[in-house]
Amino acid sequence: MTVVLILLLINGALGAFDTLWYHEYIGRLTWHPQRHRRELLLHASRDAVYVVLYGSLGWIGWLGAWAWVLSVLLAAEIVITLADFVVEDRTRSLRPGERVLHSMMAIIYGIVLANLVPLIIEWARMETRLASYAEPLPRALTVAATLGGIGIAISGGRDLIACLGPDIPQGPANPRSAMRVNRIPGGHRHGWANPQSSRAVAPASRSASLGAPRTATRTVRPSRVAEPIRQ
């Protein structure tokens, strides 16, 4: 279980960075719940699972029928994460760093399952009860995991409250998210939006005017007027 707690703490640190940097600072998900309602609900649901895992695995074992309950929670986390991948791709554009981070967290969670599933099978054969470990785990790990569960509960509560409310009017503009690639219906990239300028460049109109006859234009300079010579 010590290895499981260490991996959970690593995943918790990565998840905290993902939430603060990509969800809050870059994506502003909680500022626009009307657009990201489904994703916020998925995050809140997954956080509820994590709160139980982080808050209990460092202190007690899930024996007997409780082992099956724990198995359902672990499976629910996988289903929620897969659904979250689909919703994210449909509602917003993920940055490469965020995709890499999600992949790392999924790999670590797989290692957690590889270490936890054999223990759950052993727990399922015992009498049904929630029991403390015969040999207590390192107190630093259990306390850190519990604090991580509290932080996850706060994050999940924020997502749940946000998705139940309206969009925040005039939310703080993020210069990083403002610089994004615009796409035309054909899916081709045609330029970058400049938040410092209100002028919109439309390269697509250039191709539309190829078939039209060109009209020669000439710049007419104003003629100089001779001033009278004073005697």
| Mean pLDDT, each 10-residue run in order, the chain (231 residues) | 95 95 88 87 96 95 96 97 92 90 95 96 95 89 96 94 74 48 41 40 43 48 47 40
Strands 189-192 and 129-132, bridge-based pairing = unpaired
Enumerate the H helices of the chain as residue ranges.
2-17, 33-56, 65-91, 96-124, 139-163, 175-178, 204-208
pTM of this structure: 0.71
pLDDT at position 91: 86
Residue 34 placed within a domain? yes
Instruction: With respect to residue 216, please indicate whether it lies within any of the assigned structural domains.
Output: no
Which conformational region is residue 198 in: left (phi greater than 0), alpha (psi within -120 to 50 degrees), or beta?
alpha
Tokens read off for 65: 């029928």
What pLDDT does 81 receive? 95
Q: Which residues 6+ apart lie within 8 Å of 163 measured at CB? A: 33, 36, 37, 40, 41, 44
Structural domain includes residue 58: yes
The region that residue 187 occupies, defined by phi over 0 for left and psi between -120 and 50 for alpha, beta otherwise, is left
Contact 172, 27 (CB under 8 A): no
Structural domain boundaries enclosing 63: 2-163
Residue 9 lies in a domain: yes
The total of other beta-carbon atoms located within 10 Å of residue 9's CB is 17
Q: What pLDDT score was predicted for residue 122? A: 95
Number of domains in the chain: 1
191 in a structural domain: no
Is there a domain that residue 28 lies in? yes
Q: Which two structure tokens, joined as six digits, stand for 189? A: 């990239």
Residue 152 lies in a domain: yes
pLDDT of residue 201: 40
Indicate whether 38 belongs to any domain.
yes
